[in-house]
Amino acid sequence: MVGTGGPVATFSVWDYVVFAGTILGAAGIGLFQAIRGRKETSSDEFLLGGRQMTAVPVAMSLTASFMSGITVIGTPAEAYRFGAAFWLFGFAYAIMSAVTAEIFVPLFYRLGITSAYEYLEMRFSRPIRIIGTSMYIVQTALYTGLVIYAPALALNQTRGAVLQGGLAKIWEDASQGGRLEAFDFDPDPLKRHTFWTITIGGSIMWVSIYSINQSQVQRYISCKTLGHAKMSLYVNMVGLWVTVSLAVFSGLTMYSIYKHCDPLTNGDISTPDQLLPYLVMDILAIYPGIPGLFVAAAYSGTLSTVSSSINALVAVTVEDFIHPVCKNLTDKQVTWMNMGLSVFFGALCIGMAGVASVMGSVLQAALSIFGMISGPLLGLYLLGMLFRTSNSIGGLLGMIIGLVLTLWVGIGGQIYPPTDEKTNPLPLSIAGCNSTLSQNYTTIAPWTSPVTVRPDVRPPLADSWYSLSYLHFCLLGTLTTMVSGLLVSMITGGCKQEKLNSDLFVRKRDLICFNCFSKSKASDVTEKAATEFNVGADNSAFTDLDVMGKDVENATKL
């Protein structure tokens, strides 16, 4: 009987057939497109779609990359264990979309860059660009390893509103179980999820993911106009709302089904990330092929994320490491190099999946990685975009200080996980299980790995510094980098540096609120800037700009 614990059915032959067929079909389509277009595909087409994309396809791509196995598997487990507070990320998505679309997109689009880290060389120096690119490669390889590992949990372990008697019953069970108490306004930064940690810390973290992460930047700069690039982020915002709402509701549905028999406490599964696959096998195993379709869907979400990550890794490697050294490569040579690097990074990310297996909850681990590495990088970008007094020395030292602090608190929190007092796990029961383990069985904390053993002696920092909410890692890194970078810049004479090109800074007229009411034409990339930055003034990425909200024939040239 569903919801009473115990082992569940395994994959049938039809499940394996559906799973294999879906994965092979996706691979076959990609191979066919690669062979069909191998002759006419240039490097620009391979990496940026020829910079002729429109808003909706790009928005769908942005949302699909978010819809990885981590989202499909990790978010429902989060809602099951900690309640609906994760839905508050909807506020963070809205803030992120506005900040990225109105501040970062116009600047990157105006410069006509391919790699997001080109900006660091334009604004600071080439060594800083190389360091930034290297940090991105490490971060993306680790994250992609998590993305690959997440659906492997589903396959290793191998929906529910109708089963529970409708949405009202699920909502009632969630309310009685304390799962709907999402608005916690406690200002304590050590508490894992509160309104403030999610809306402030979460917003900064998602800004770092969408504004400077190459796999995201590469999508919206592929749009044919600035208006399409901005619109893609706002459409994507709606997609993120729908995705997180469905994922959280899936977690509440799982709680409604297993409120009297928690499979994790009962020992039926070993990690919280196996909850959703367990549910699928529990209620759908009687329908041959359906569990296989679920696992295939989880892997399909992973494929979209992995492909975009590998494509972005190839882009930054070619633009930041190879092109500056080998300037006379033909288009054919670059194309073959792109393909070879794709294979290399694919193998590297698969290897990183082994590292991901010991990092605990896939959702928190993924967001922690972004916070620890992207936070200092975001601070470096903001330092350059907003403050003309900052210089290379300040930027470099500020980023190093920020990175040291975030790695210190992040790794410390991994070794000494915060206590239940700070994470607030909600109660679960095994009273209704048919077969249970001993009454002394303790559920493994969902933020740790099954192989992690808590140290008997906790250092003084374990319940203060190391207990900082993982959502504040990015905020800590960003603020530390900016403050220390500004101080070092002033000490080293940042105010006396030569005049910098105005295209490298945020402009008031970049914002849509000024564009909509301004009658004057905004300046485009000048010939001088094009020569200086080697971006080409005739590139369609910035010669055919239109302002969002106006008809194409009446568009104002930027």
* DSSP structure string for 67-128: SSHIIIIIHHHHHHHH-GGGGGHHHHHHHHHHHIIIIIHHHHHHHT-SSTTHHHHHHT-HHH
Q: H or E stretch including 228?
A: helix 226-258
Mean of all residue pLDDT scores within the chain: 78
Whether residue 450 contacts residue 444, with contact meaning beta carbons closer than 8 Å, is answered with yes
Per-residue exposure over 259-283, b if at least 16 CB sit within 10 Å of its own CB, e if not: bebbbbbbbbbbbbbbbbbbbbbbb
| Beta bridge pairs of residue 223 | 53
The residues, ordered by sequence, that sit 6+ positions from 414 with a Cβ below 8 Å of its Cβ are 359, 360, 368
Q: Which of 17-26, 54-63, 470-479, 515-524 has the least mean pLDDT?
A: 515-524
H helix or E strand, kind and range, residue 500: none
Task: Tell me which of 3.90.870.40, 3.40.50.2300, 3.10.105.10, 1.20.1730.10 is the CATH number of domain 46-374.
Answer: 1.20.1730.10
Q: What whole-number distance in Å separates Cα of residue 317 and Cα of residue 342? A: 10
Residue 194 DSSP code: -
Q: What is the CA radius of gyration of the chain?
A: 24
d(CA 408, CA 356): 19
Q: What is the pLDDT of residue 516?
A: 47
Residues 6+ apart with CB under 8 A from 517: none
pLDDT tens for residues 291-337? 887 777 777 777 777 877 888 888 888 888 888 888 788 878 888 88
Burial string for 505-520 (b: 16+ CB within 10 Å, else e) reads eeeeebbbeebeeeee
Tell me the backbone φ, ψ of residue 161, rounded to 5 degrees: -65, -40
Predicted confidence (pLDDT) at residue 88 exceeds the cutoff of 90: yes
Please report, for the chain, the start and end positions of each structural domain, with discontinuous segments joined by +: 46-374
**Residue 153: pLDDT band by 50, 70, 90 thresholds?**
low
Query: What digits encode the pLDDT tens for the residues 40-76?
Result: 555 455 445 545 678 888 888 788 776 677 787 888 9
Name the burial class of residue 465, with classes exposed (0-12), middle (13-18) and buried (19+) by CB atoms within 10 angstroms of its CB.
middle
Structure tokens at 56: 């909706």
pLDDT of residue 66: 67
335-364 confidence digits (pLDDT tens)? 888 888 988 988 888 888 777 766 667 888
